[in-house]
């Protein structure tokens, strides 16, 4: 057998689940009297929900098909009293609300002025900072200009020194070239002298060899007569040519 469902959420109700009990409370007084009593007890300290409840109850009263005359009179008296006590308060509240809106606008204007003042202060600080940076930048530019002038001066001096060195180098190169030409001439003359000496030595060597050959031939002819004399003569001739070659 299906279990009954909750009338509110339609969830099935178990056996052990607690079940709500609904009671219909019947008012002991007519609705008009209860609404009149509630309105008469309301004041400036009443919460907004009470005012809304009273308005809803008034609508319920007006929706009834039949209203008791005495109850309606009591309700009208309560409403008249409500108008005398509460409506001025709401009017004052509305005036205060308008004043609050005006004050909020003034506060917003003051906040805007404050923000502008803070921005102006910030901009003033930034301007001061920029001025300081400007002074620093001008000093740096001045230092850079001095360094540039010094660099130009040093470059000019270096250029002049380089030109002087080049001129000295050209002069030295001329002297060196002249010395080289002189030494080259000496070498060439020395080479010519050596060539002449070489030719002379070769000629003397040939002459020596020829004389030695003649001496050997004569030595063979006279060996039988006086061999010692022939040997001494050959030694003497060799000594002469040796002294010529080593001189």
- Average pLDDT of the chain is 74
Q: Are 13 and 4 in contact (CB under 8 A)?
A: yes
Residue 33: give the domain boundaries: 17-85
Q: Does the residue 77 lie in any domain? A: yes
pLDDT in tens, 175-193: 777 878 888 888 888 778 7
Q: Does the residue 155 lie in any domain? A: no
Q: Does the residue 49 lie in any domain? A: yes
Q: Where are the alpha helices (DSSP H) in the chain?
A: 31-41, 48-63, 69-85, 87-246
Q: Does the residue 131 lie in any domain? A: no
Give the other-Cβ count within 10 Å of 140's Cβ. 11
What does each C-alpha distance from 15 to 5, 20, 82, 118 come to in angstroms? 11, 13, 52, 71
Q: Does the residue 40 lie in any domain? A: yes
Q: Does the residue 140 lie in any domain? A: no
Q: In the prediction, which pLDDT does 65 show?
A: 65
Look at the chain and report how many structural domains it folds into: 1
pLDDT in tens, 100-143: 888 888 888 888 888 888 887 887 778 788 888 888 888 888 88
Q: Does the residue 29 lie in any domain? A: yes
Q: What angle do CA 76, 81, 85 make, to 5 degrees?
A: 150
Q: Does the residue 53 lie in any domain? A: yes
Q: What angle do CA 140, 145, 148 make, to 5 degrees?
A: 125
pLDDT in tens, 4-35: 777 667 777 777 766 666 555 554 566 667 77
Q: In the prediction, which pLDDT does 32 show?
A: 67
């Amino acid at each position: 057998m299906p279990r009954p469902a909750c009338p509110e959420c339609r969830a099935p109700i178990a056996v052990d689940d607690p079940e709500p009990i609904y009671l219909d409370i019947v008012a002991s007084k007519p609705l008009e009297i209860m609404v009149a009593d509630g309105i008469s007890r309301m004041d400036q300290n009443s919460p907004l929900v009470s005012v809304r409840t009273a308005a809803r109850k008034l609508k319920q009263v007006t929706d009834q098909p039949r209203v008791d005359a005495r109850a309606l009179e009591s309700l009208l008296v309560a409403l008249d009293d409500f108008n005398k006590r509460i409506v001025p308060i709401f009017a004052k509240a509305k005036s205060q609300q308008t004043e609050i809106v005006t004050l909020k606008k003034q506060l917003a204007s003051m906040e805007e002025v404050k923000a502008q003042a803070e921005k102006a202060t910030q901009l003033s600080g930034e301007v001061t900072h920029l001025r300081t940076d400007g002074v620093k930048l001008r000093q740096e530019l001045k230092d850079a200009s001095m360094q540039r002038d010094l660099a130009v001066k040093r470059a000019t001096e270096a250029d002049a020194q380089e030109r002087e060195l080049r001129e000295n180098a050209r002069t030295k190169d001329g002297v060196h070239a002249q010395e080289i030409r002189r030494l080259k001439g000496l070498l060439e003359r020395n080479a010519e002298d050596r060539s002449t000496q070489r030719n002379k030595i070769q000629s003397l060597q040939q002459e020596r060899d020829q004389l030695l050959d003649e001496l050997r031939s004569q030595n063979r002819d006279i060996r039988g007569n006086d061999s010692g004399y022939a040997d001494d003569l050959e030694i003497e001739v060799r000594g002469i040519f040796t002294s010529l070659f080593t001189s």
